[in-house]
């Protein structure tokens, strides 16, 4: 399959998936400065959220180790260990809002410790980065079960909550970068199946809005990009941006599992394979208008995201 120079066009209705029908803001609104704690300081989303938060807020980033790069002025970093409830309690104490990001479904104790510390520290609002798959009744893989359990634990905590539930990150395409640079090839399982993937920057901006506003209590926000795209169509976009022909080659299930297993545990590789099968069945093609409603601008297209990160592929 050779990617054409012209990128894919979205010809169907823009919003085909579930919409949020509740009030845009619920709970008290706060216009003054807040103390906001963000977990996952060395990950992808939390540092982006910090950049989008208004400078009037007091921001604390937490992680096991210090961030690789310095954060903006006025943002402090606190080292804490998800296995150590005492360090979490110290980091969370006095927080008006807590942004929860965890990334290891094989260690559910991390999520339990975070919620227990949030309760004991008197956190005023938990904003949880979850996943859109929690709404799919056909999704029973390790990752989705873990996120559902995390959401239930937070709902049962007694602390006002908001769930941020994005579809797959556009940045997952960066895994193709070495093969693109070397051979001009994208390897993908089910390359014509579509996913309404979303730019991490959009997730961060929505999360910052929810954290900074102080409202949005007891709401779940499903986030997607503006259109569903396949790996083949993303390959075409990258081909046009890079100005050179590229090829999208299909992986077998065994080949895809082997690639996943190089980066993740066998259980995680199984879960990712199950997610790819649901995508093939169309489970990830629906879109929402949540990004536009909460930020006031359209969701970022894959072409816009890729153009901003083209140096990683060149």
pLDDT of residue 19: 39
pLDDT of residue 64: 86
Closest by CA to 36, choosing from 172, 190, 162, is 162
- pTM value? 0.89
Q: What are phi and psi of 186, to 5 degrees?
A: -110, 130
Closest by CA to 209, choosing from 223, 228, 195, 227, is 223
- Dump strand ranges (E) for the chain: 35-39, 58-63, 75-79, 97-100, 126-129, 161-166, 185-189, 194-195, 219-223, 229-230, 247-251
Say which DSSP state 116 is in: H
Q: For 122-190, where are the alpha helices, taking DSSP H only?
A: 142-155, 177-183
Q: How far apart are CA 78 and CA 93, in angstroms?
A: 12
pLDDT of residue 215: 87
pLDDT of residue 223: 98
pLDDT of residue 32: 82
Q: How far apart are CA 58 and CA 242, in angstroms?
A: 41
Q: What are phi and psi of 294, to 5 degrees?
A: -90, -20
Give me the torsion for CA of 298, 177, 131, 98, rounded to 10°.
-80
Closest by CA to 227, choosing from 219, 218, 213, 237, is 237
pLDDT of residue 30: 57
Per-residue pLDDT tens, the chain, 314 aa: give them: 444 433 443 333 333 444 333 334 455 555 689 999 999 999 999 999 999 999 999 999 999 876 555 566 678 899 999 999 999 999 999 999 999 999 999 999 999 999 999 999 999 999 999 999 999 999 999 999 999 999 999 999 999 999 999 999 999 999 999 999 999 999 999 999 999 999 999 999 999 999 999 889 999 999 999 999 999 999 999 999 999 999 999 999 999 999 999 999 999 999 999 999 999 999 999 999 999 999 999 999 999 999 999 999 99
Q: What are phi and psi of 48, to 5 degrees?
A: -70, -40
Q: Name every residue whose Cβ is closer than 8 Å to that of residue 145 and which is 6 or more positions away in sequence.
A: 105
pLDDT of residue 258: 96
């Amino acid at each position: 399959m050779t990617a054409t120079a012209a990128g894919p066009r979205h010809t169907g209705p823009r919003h085909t998936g579930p919409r949020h029908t509740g009030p845009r803001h619920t709970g008290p609104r706060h216009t003054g400065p807040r103390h906001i704690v963000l977990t996952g300081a060395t990950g992808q989303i939390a540092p982006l959220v910090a950049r989008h938060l208004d400078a009037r807020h007091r921001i604390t980033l937490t992680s096991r180790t210090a961030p690789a790069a310095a954060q903006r002025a006025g943002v402090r970093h606190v080292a804490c260990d998800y296995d150590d409830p005492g360090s979490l309690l110290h980091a969370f104490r006095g927080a008006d809002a807590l942004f929860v990001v965890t990334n290891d479904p094989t260690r559910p104790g991390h999520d339990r410790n975070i919620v227990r510390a949030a309760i004991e520290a008197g956190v005023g609002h938990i904003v949880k980065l979850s996943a859109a798959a929690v709404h799919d009744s056909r999704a029973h893989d390790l990752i989705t079960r873990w996120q559902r359990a995390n959401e239930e634990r937070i709902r049962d905590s007694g602390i006002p909550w908001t769930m941020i539930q994005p579809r797959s990150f556009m940045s997952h395409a960066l895994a193709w970068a070495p093969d693109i640079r070397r051979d001009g090839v994208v390897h993908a399982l089910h390359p014509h199946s579509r996913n309404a993937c979303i730019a991490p920057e959009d997730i961060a901006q929505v999360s910052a809005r929810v954290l900074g506003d102080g409202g949005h209590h007891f709401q779940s926000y499903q986030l997607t990009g503006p259109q569903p795209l396949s790996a083949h169509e993303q390959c075409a976009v990258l081909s046009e941006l890079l100005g050179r022909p590229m090829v999208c080659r299909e992986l077998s299930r065994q080949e895809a599992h082997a690639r996943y297993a190089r980066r993740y545990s066998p259980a995680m590789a199984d879960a990712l394979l199950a997610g790819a099968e649901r995508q093939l069945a169309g489970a990830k093609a629906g879109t929402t208008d949540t990004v536009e409603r909460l930020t006031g601008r359209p969701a970022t297209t894959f072409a816009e995201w890729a153009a901003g990160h083209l140096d990683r592929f060149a």
